[in-house]
Amino acid sequence: MNASTKPLRVGLIGAGWASRYHLRGWERQSGRAEVVALADPNAEVRAARAAEFSIPEIFDSAESLIAATKPDVLDICTPRETHADLVRLAADRGLATICQKPFAPSLAEARRVVADVGGRVPVMVHENWRFRSYYRRIAELLCDGACGDIRQVQFEFLSSGMIPDAHGARQALVRQPFLRTLDRMLVMEIVIHHIDTLRFLLGELDFVSARLARTNDEIIGEDVAAILLKRREGGTPVSITANLAVHGAPPLPQDHLRIFGLAGTIELDGTALAVCGRCEVSETFDADATYQGAYDASIGHFIDRLADGKLFETRPDDNLKTLEIVEAIYAGAERS
């Protein structure tokens, strides 16, 4: 994209919880892109979000937004059960598309969408966790050999958000009420981020075993998961422990990743990154800046690749590999 190129005209579909982070991300791209319209079936929600970000036009559907404003790009920020149809709609209208994860509610449906869309339009899956600044830094450290030969990887994601607080509220459900309705909750909605990030850092992974559990009757799906994967190259074990009902853990969970190698250990504990062994590193990242920054970087990557024609990191065929692991977990897990 050169200086004479007009900014991309973006239509945002969905005005829910995550849309605020998307819109802030598009704001960071001033001069390269602008959100010209927003669509959401909820009149009150779409009006409030449009007012918050000074979006000039609002609609009740993607179809009406596309017909009236003819955007260059569609940003799909809606519940996962709508993704497949919206991606197909965008492809039929010839629109470049960035779609929130998961690409579809199931691996089978995601494969059908990939086949239907083909290469007709550029499509990127908005899987932003791997774009967090501390994970990009870890990737650099691994590339530089900070760990040497990796022998074991442990990932923890622990929260007390599903435990009632002093007022009887479960903070995870206060923050994201839609979690109540998901039959595939913790793994498909949250741990999918970690699986994709681990693939980014470690290469391809294969499913070994899993155990899933539910701790309360306010949700349908699982809120506890113990997962064992292995690196396809060399078979290194990769364990994931995710639990949203841990007494003593913070309501808002933080990632805890440890990569053990023959030459050193990399540890990310929340926003603190440390390396000991062959090299010594101690760095701290700002939590809020890193969270929003992942959205900013994802959207920036999308625009960069549209401009240079190179492959998206999180293109649909790559995201299928993450969904294959997720599907294997649900198919092969023991439950309690």
- CATH no., domain 8-126: 3.40.50.720
Average pLDDT value for residue range 122-126:
97
**Which pLDDT tens digit goes with each residue over 12-25?**
999 999 999 999 99
Residue ranges of domains in the chain: 8-126, 130-286+322-335
DSSP 119: T
What is the pTM (predicted TM-score) of this model? Answer: 0.93
Phi, psi values for residue 170, rounded to 5°:
-95, 110
Minimal CA–CA distance to 26: which of 45, 60, 49?
A: 49
Q: Mind listing the pLDDT tens digit for each residue in 298-335?
A: 999 999 999 999 999 999 999 999 999 999 999 999 99
Q: Would you say the C-alpha torsion 13, 17, 23, 25 has a positive or negative sign? A: negative
3: pLDDT confidence band, cut at 50, 70 and 90? very low
Binning the chain into helix, strand and coil, the percentages to the nearest 5 are 40, 25, 35
Q: How far is CA 161 from CA 59, 83, 201, in A?
A: 34, 27, 28
The share of the chain scoring above pLDDT 90, in percent, equals 93
Q: Among 3.40.1260.10, 3.90.550.10, 3.50.70.10, 3.30.360.10, name the CATH number for the domain at 130-286+322-335.
A: 3.30.360.10
Question: Is the confidence at residue 2, as pLDDT, over 60?
Answer: no
